[in-house]
Amino acid sequence: MGTPPLTAGYSDADAERMFPEGHASRRGDFARDRARLLHSSALRRLAAKTQVLSPTAGLDFARNRLTHSLEVAQVGRELAGSLMLDPDVVDTACLAHDIGHPPFGHNGERALNEWIEKAGGFEGNAQTLRLLTRLEPKVFSPEGRSFGLNLTRASLDASTKYPWPIQQAALDPAGRIKFGFYADDIEVFEWLRAGAPDRIKCIEAQVMDFSDDVAYSVHDFEDAVVNGYIDARELGARVNHDALVDQMFEWIGGEFSHDELIAAFDRLDQLDAWLDSWDASRVSQAQLKNLTSQLIGRFCHAAVHATRGAYAQKKLQRFNASVVVPREYLAEIAVLKGIVAAFVMVTNSRQPVYAMQREVLTDLCEVLYSTGSSNLDQAFADDWAVALNDDARMRIVVDQVASLTDQSAFAWHERLVKK
């Protein structure tokens, strides 16, 4: 019983695993990657981690990191099919893209980065690579080295959003330092990037990134409407319109001009499906759901059409092409993100909550570091026992805290800090 042939455009090197394995089933290597990710504990933990609103906030239907990741994977898989990329490679990357996120989303990421800044920093995407290749228990060598899920080179590379170290990192539009791996994970990074052009993302990673942007912008807008953060009637009537665009411009970081954002806002407002009111009735719910569907279709169709138009060749896999998205559609995605940021993330009423969340994670790091392995989960206590220096021990503490859900972070803080 042999392994099915690889999708056209992929090589044997793309299907290699860092620790060689043999399999007798008919399931392909890339399908096996997706199954391993889908069954991982790291993916399940995302069900209790913040997307925009914390699962601890008591909002029954707001998206969490897991539902978001499943939706990103659905968008990515459809795009992969349209672009003739391997759907399992893209699906795996989409499912994996957020598993390195700590409790409380980007706010928690900021807290952990500040705590371990002098020992290499924290970045959710670098933590994702660390989970996939080291922390998530699945494959061990006879000598006891963990290879994490031991995914193929193509799937790991597709999951690497920022293929560079912290020394080469630049700030993203929101002012965050983005990089793809920590210093002690350089060996696996160099392995997965063998033969890859420097700092260039494979097209599968670009599809994952774009799918994330589409799902994030559209679904977070939907959640903000459903949970009462956005008044659809005021939004449609352009109440405080200039101030809102100013906040969008500040959040986006100058990537688009005020005029571009206003024009994009106008195009969205003129869509037949655009929401003019919201009363939580089934009719309103259906209208909102139809809007989200149309927006996703609008953005994905534009990307597929532009990418196909830019490349005459049929095989776009790996480093043969890049995703092309017309600037006006990127501006519309930015407007949706900016609306959510203005109404949910940067409002003064949310700042005390964010400060409290950062304090919880910082307190946990301090107490876990000061008490050694005694309060760590067994797997991290084992890592502590073989750590060679203080920087390594700080990294283990951050690995532990980042693995917690929002609820368990509060519970650990109550048990260890407030006792």
pLDDT band at 158 (very low <50, low <70, confident <90, very high): very high
Q: Do residues 344 and 350 make contact, with C-beta atoms less than 8 angstroms apart?
A: yes
- In this predicted structure, the answer to whether residue 287 has a pLDDT above a threshold of 60 is yes
Beta bridge partners of 182: none
CB distance 307 to 76 below 8 Å = no
How far apart CA 107 and CA 88 sit, in angstroms, is 31
Element (H, E) at 408: helix 406-416
Buried b (16+ CB within 10 A) or exposed e, 199-220: eebbbbbbbbbbbbbbbbbbbb
* Token pair belonging to 403: 């693995």
Q: How confident is the model at residue 219 (pLDDT cuts 50, 70, 90)?
A: very high
Instruction: Determine the pLDDT at residue 385.
Output: 97
* Residue 14: per-residue pLDDT: 97
**Confidence at residue 354, expressed as pLDDT on a 0 to 100 scale:** 87
Q: What pLDDT, in 10s, does the model give residues 320-369? A: 999 999 999 999 999 999 888 888 766 556 788 889 999 999 999 999 99
* C-beta separation of 40 from 403 below 8 A: no
Average pLDDT, whole number, for the chain? 91
The full set of domain ranges for the chain reads: 29-78+86-199, 204-349, 352-416
Lowest mean pLDDT among 119-133, 194-208, 255-269: 255-269
Distance between CA 147 and CA 145 in Å, rounded? 6
Cα 322 to chain centroid, rounded: 20
Asked whether the beta carbons of 299 and 214 are under 8 A apart, the reply is yes
Written out in words, the top-level CATH class of the domain with range 29-78+86-199 is mainly alpha
Return the closest-CA partner of residue 224 out of 95, 51, 92.
51
Task: Dump the DSSP string for 5-48.
Answer: PPPTT--TTTT-BSS-----SS--HHHHHHHHHHT-HHHHHGGG
- Around Cβ 294, how many Cβ atoms within 10 Å? 15
Residues 39-73 pLDDT 10s: 999 999 999 887 766 555 555 566 889 999 999 99
Q: Nearest to residue 28, comparing CAs of 87, 84, 73, 79?
A: 87
Q: Copy the structure tokens of residue 313.
A: 């060749």
CB 408 within 8 A of CB 400: no
